[in-house]
Chains A and B, each alone.
Chain A
Amino acid sequence: MSKTAALELKKVSKRFGSVVANHQVDLTVYQGEILSVLGENGSGKTTLMNMIAGIYYPDDGQIFVDGKEAVIRSPKDAFDYKIGMIHQHFKLVDVFTATENIVLGLREEKGFDLKKSAARIREISEKYGFEIDPDKKIYQMSVSEKQTVEIIKVLYRGADILILDEPTAVLTPQETQKLFAVLRRMRDDGKAIIIITHKLHEVLALSDRVSVLRKGESIGTVITAETNEAQLTEMMVGKKISLNIDRSEPKNLTDRLVVRNINCSSRDGVKLLDNVTFTARSGEILGIAGIAGSGQRELLESIAGLQHVDSGEILYYDPKTGAEENLRDKTPLQIREMGVRLSFVPEDRLGMGLVGNMDIAENMMLRSYRRGKSIFLEKKQPRTLAEEIIKQLEVVTPSVNTPVRRLSGGNVQKVLVGREISSSPSVLMAAYPVRGLDINSSYLIYKLLNEQKENGVAVIFVGEDLDVLLELCDRILVIGAGRVTGIVDARTATKEEIGLLMTKTEGGEAHG
C-alpha cells in the first residue's frame, strides 16, 4: 500500500544571523498518521514547524504538500494548504471571546455571524468532548482552556495537516489523555498530525512514526512500534548516555530557609500559593517538581522579594550567627541589605536575569553596581569578573563587549549562573536552569549546582525533567496547583510516585 505524503520537506535550512537553526532537514508525514518530531530543546523543532506554518520563510529547501511543491510565505498560505499549527505560546487575542478568536482570519462564505459560529463551536466541542464557553474572553481563561480554544480553532478550519508544538507541557495527565484521544480520532479521520515533543513516553504512547532532530539536522525516522526509549534517546542526544550526575552525600545539614504557611494570590484573586511550608537546608539540593505553572515561579519570587505574600513567614537563618530574619514582604534590596546572600537564577533569563542589550560586563554590574560610596560606577571590577566567568565556564562569545542577547542559550545561562554564584551565596535558587540548553551545558550547570551544595549552600532547583530531578537532588518537593503535595527522598522515590503527587489535589486523592 503506497500512501500519499501529505507533507514532505526536502533539505530545508534556516539561519538566524550566525545561528543555524535548521540544516538540510528532511521530513515526511502521511495522511492518517501521527508523526512525532523528537529532539532536545534547541534542536530546531519549533523553527522547522514554524516554516511549515508560514511564520518563518526557509533560506533554502523545498516543501511539498500532496506531492506538489508549495511556497508558504505566510500563515495564510499555510491555511490554504490546510495546514494548522497549535503554537506552544498561544496565539490568541486576550480581549476577544473564544468565538472571535476562532473565526479570526477566516473568510466564510456564509458571511459574518458570530452566533452561528458559536453554535458550530459548541457542535465541535460536543463531538470531541471539550468544555468551552464560546463567549468567554480569553483573559478570563485558564491555560488549558486557552489551549482548547487553539485546538478548536484548527478543527474549525478543517485542517488536514495539524502541527502541535509541545501541547502537553501545560496539561495535567488527564487533560493529556483527553488530548491524545482527540488526536487519535483525527488520525482515524485521515488527517496528518505532527506533534513536537521531547517526552519519550508520549512519543511511544501516541505516535506511529518518530522523526528525530539533533542540532538542527534530521537524524532519522523510525516506526514507533519497532523502537524503544533507549534507541530514541541515543538518536536524540547523539551518544548513548545514562544520566550520570555525581551526587555526593549531604554534609552538615542545617536549616537555612524555613517557609511556613505562605499564601499568595493573583490580582484576580486566584490562589497561586496555598499554605506552602518547607525547609531548605544548607548542603543539600532541594528539587521542586510540578506541572508547569503550578506555583513554582511564585514560590521562588516570594522568597526573592518579588511577589507579595498574603500570609505566612519566610525565615532565614544566618550561617554565621544563626540569627533569624523574616524575609516576608521585604524588597530584594532590603533582603540584600539585611546581609542575606540569596542568589536567584530566574526562569526568564533575558527578560529578568539579564539585560539582553547590555554586554557581559554591564550585566555583572547588575548585582554589584551599588557597591561603594562613589556616585560613579565602578567599571573595572565587573569587567574582571566577566572575564573570569568567560574563562572558567568557557562562555563562547566574541568579546566581553558583546550584548548577551547575541549569545546562544547555553552561553547566556553560563553568564547568568556564573554571576549568581560569584557572590558566594548561602541560598541559591534556580528555575529551570537547563531549559533549552544542550547536553554539555546542562551537565556543566549540574556540576556547578553540586559544587555549591558541597560548599554548604542551600540549593533550590526547579526542574521539569523528573529523571534529572531524581538524579541530582537530595529531596524533592512536589507542588500541585499551588500547594505542596509531598516531599520525597530523591534517592528512593520513583518517577511514578512523583508523577502521582504532581496531579494530586485536595483531600489527598490522586486522579487516575
Chain B
Amino acid sequence: MFDTIALVIQRAVVQGIPLLYGSTGEILTEKSGNLNLGIPGIMYVGGVSGVIGAFFYERSTETPSSFLLVLIPLLTSLFGSGIMALIYSFLTITLRANQNVTGLTLTIFGTGFGNFFGGSMANLFGEGGSLALTETSLAFQTSFPFADRLGSIGTIFFSYGFMAYMAIIVALIAAFVLKKTRVGLQLRAVGENPATADAAGINVTRYKYVATVVGGMIAGLGGLYFIMDYTSGVWTNGGFGDRGWLAIALVIFALWKPNVSVLGSILFGGLYIVYLFIPGLERSTQELFKMLPYVVTILVLIIVSMRKKREYQPPEHLGLSYFREER
C-alpha cells in the first residue's frame, strides 16, 4: 500500500517537473507584464536544442565525459529557448506587437521547429533511423545511489535526476527574488504599472526583456528535462503534448507564486496520471480524468475572480505593451 502511494507521488513529481519549469518561467515573464503564450513553443525548442547539442556531442566522441554530456545539452537548450524568448521580447516590447498573437505564432513556430529537428535530425545529419540519446539520457537520469536502499522514502525523495531538484531550487529562488529583493519589487512594479515604474526611474524595457528571456530559458529547461530524463532521450514528434499549456494553467493555479507552483506542479502531475492508479476504469473514462488539471484551473480562475482579492489577481498590466509617450 505504502509502496503504491510512494509510486504515485514519484510519478506525479516526474510529470510535474516540466510543468514546474514552464510555470516558473512564465511567472517571471508575466510578472513583467508579458503574457507569453509562446511558452509551449519555447519548451519544444528548449527540448530540441538540447537534443541537437547532445546529438553532435555524442557523435563527436567515443568516450564522452558525463560532465559534458550534461553541460552541453544544458547550454544549447538555454541558448535555443533564450533566442525564442528574445524574438518574443523584440516583437512585443520593442515593436509593441500584440502579445497574444505573437505568443501563439511563437508556439506554432517552436512546435514546428521542435518536431522538424527532433523528427528529422537523424535523417538530416546522421545515418537515419530514429533518434535515441542513450548516453546523455543516462547522465541526466543519474539519481542518488542510496535511493534504492531507503525504500519508499528513497522513491519519494531521492529517485530523480538532478534536473528535478534543480526545478524546485529554481522555483524557490524565483519566489525569493520576487518577494524579498529589490529586483523582484521593481519587476512586479513593471508588470503592475509600468508608467509608475518608469516614473520611478526603473528601466521598464530592460526589466521586461530580462524577465522574459530568463523566464523563457527556465521554461525551456522543462522541455529538456522531458526529453532527456522522462523519455530517456527518445524523441517522439508531438510527444511533449499539451504540457506547455498546462504550465500556463499552473501559473494561474499557483496565483503567480513560484513557491506555490512547486506543490501545484506535483498536484497537476498527480491529476495528470491519477487515472492510472484508479482501479476498474474504462479506457474511455481515463480520457475524462485527463481533463482534471484543466478543470481545476478553470475553477481556480473562477473562484479567484469572484473573490476579487487584489493580491490574487494577475499583474494589472498583463498583456499590454507600454509606450511612455502615449497620450
A-side interface residues toward B, CB under 8 Å?
16, 53, 55-57, 74-76, 78-79, 85, 87, 91-96, 100-101, 103-107, 112, 137, 139
Contact = CB atoms under 8 A, between A and B. Distances in A.
A76 B196 contact: no
Contacts of B325: 55-57
A180 to B, nearest CB: 24
Given A74-B201, A76-B201, A95-B310, A105 B186 contact: yes
Given A76-B201, A93-B196, A137-B310, A112 B327 contact: no
9 contacts: A56-B324, A56-B325, A85-B199, A93-B188, A94-B193, A95-B192, A100-B185, A105-B189, A107-B182
A105 B202 contact: yes
A73 to B, nearest CB: 10
B196 A79 contact: no
Contact of A112 (B182, B195, B199): B182
Minimum-distance CB pairs A-B, first 8: A105-B200, A76-B201, A91-B196, A112-B182, A105-B201, A91-B199, A104-B200, A93-B192
Contacts of B203: 74, 76
B316 interface: yes
Given A95-B310, A112-B181, A104 B324 contact: no
With a 10 A CB-CB cut-off, give which of B181, B203, B313, B324 has the most chain A CB atoms: B324
A181 B14 CA distance: 64
B197 interface: yes
Contacts of B310: 94-95, 137, 139
B189 A75 contact: no
Given A56-B325, A94-B192, A75 B185 contact: no
With a 10 A CB-CB cut-off, give which of B200, B202, B311, B313 has the most chain A CB atoms: B200
B198 interface: yes
B interface, over-half SS = helix
Contacts of B188: 93, 96
Contact of B195 (A91, A100, A101): A91
B202 A104 contact: yes
B196 A104 contact: yes
Nearest to B191: A93
A278 B313 CA distance: 41
A106 B197 CA distance: 11
Contacts of A55: 198-199, 324-325
A206 B195 CA distance: 30
A198 to B, nearest CB: 20
A420 B161 CA distance: 70
Contacts of A93: 188-189, 192-193, 196-197
B199 to A, nearest CB: 4
B275 to A, nearest CB: 39
A360 B157 CA distance: 68
A104 B192 contact: no
Contacts of A101: 196
Given A79-B201, A91-B193, A112-B185, 19 more contacts: A55-B198, A55-B324, A75-B198, A87-B199, A91-B199, A92-B193, A93-B189, A93-B193, A93-B196, A94-B316, A95-B313, A96-B188, A100-B185, A101-B196, A104-B186, A104-B202, A105-B186, A105-B200, A106-B182
Contacts of A103: 182, 185
A interface, over-half SS = loop
Given A16-B327, A93-B189, A74 B182 contact: no
Contacts, number: 74
B317 to A, nearest CB: 10
B195 to A, nearest CB: 6
A112 B199 CA distance: 20
B316 A104 contact: no
B184 to A, nearest CB: 9
Interface of B: 180-182, 185-186, 188-189, 192-193, 195-203, 310-311, 313, 316, 324-325, 327
A75 B200 contact: yes
A16 B327 CA distance: 9
B31 to A, nearest CB: 12
Contact of B199 (A16, A75, A107, A137): A75
A116 to B, nearest CB: 13
B33 to A, nearest CB: 12
A147 to B, nearest CB: 14
Contact of A74 (B180, B186, B198): B198
Contacts of A94: 192-193, 310, 316
B189 A96 contact: yes
Contact of B201 (A75, A92, A95): A75
A199 B189 CA distance: 34
Contacts of A87: 199
Contacts of B327: 16
B185 A53 contact: no
Nearest to B315: A95
A499 to B, nearest CB: 33
B198 A104 contact: no
With a 10 A CB-CB cut-off, give which of B189, B196, B198, B311 has the most chain A CB atoms: B196
Nearest to B190: A93
A78 B181 CA distance: 24
Nearest to A140: B310
A92 B198 contact: no
Contacts of B186: 104-105
B160 to A, nearest CB: 34
Given A76-B201, A79-B201, A95 B185 contact: no
Nearest to B202: A105
A103 to B, nearest CB: 8
A56 B195 CA distance: 12
Contacts of B202: 76, 104-105
Contacts of A85: 199
A107 B199 CA distance: 15
B199 A95 contact: no
A48 to B, nearest CB: 15
A137 B311 CA distance: 10
With a 10 A CB-CB cut-off, give which of A78, A79, A93, A96 has the most chain B CB atoms: A93
Contacts of B313: 95
Contacts of B192: 93-96
Contacts of B198: 55, 74-75
A10 to B, nearest CB: 22
B200 A91 contact: yes
A102 to B, nearest CB: 9
Contacts of A137: 310
B315 to A, nearest CB: 9
Nearest to B201: A76
A161 to B, nearest CB: 15
A9 to B, nearest CB: 19
A85 B54 CA distance: 55
Nearest to A267: B308
B311 A104 contact: no
Contacts of B193: 91-94
Given A76-B202, A92-B196, A139-B310, A104 B181 contact: no
A56 B325 CA distance: 6
A55 B195 CA distance: 9
Contacts of A74: 198, 201, 203
B189 A104 contact: yes
With a 10 A CB-CB cut-off, give which of A53, A76, A105 has the most chain B CB atoms: A105
A53 B201 CA distance: 10
